[in-house]
Amino acid sequence: MDPQVEPVSYFCGDCGMENKLKPGDVIQCYECGYHMLYKKRTRRIVQYEARRKNQAKLDSVLACSFVSYFRTC
């Protein structure tokens, strides 16, 4: 089996920038350096990418897929 993994998209909890991370990568926004990222749950979320004014929407839609150094869900 080929062990290669695909990057997973996450959204920054601060600026909303989309980050693509692979398992083992540091959880940190490469736009602003924020350490809390939200995992993208559905493709529909893509339309919210990198829009600061939509951060509140992201927070509510992705509240339970919160990812950080401390797993909460």
Binding site for Zn ion (CB under 5 A): 12, 14-15, 17, 29, 31-32, 34
Minimum separation from the CB atom of position 11 to Zn ion (A)? 9
Nearest residue (CB) to Zn ion, 2 versus 18: 18
Tell the residue number behind the tokens 């540091």, with chain if given. Answer: 26
Nearest residue (CB) to Zn ion, 4 versus 36: 36
Q: How is 9-43 classified by DSSP, letter by letter?
A: EEEETTT--EEEE-TTS----TTT--S-EEE--SG
Nearest residue (CB) to Zn ion, 34 versus 66: 34
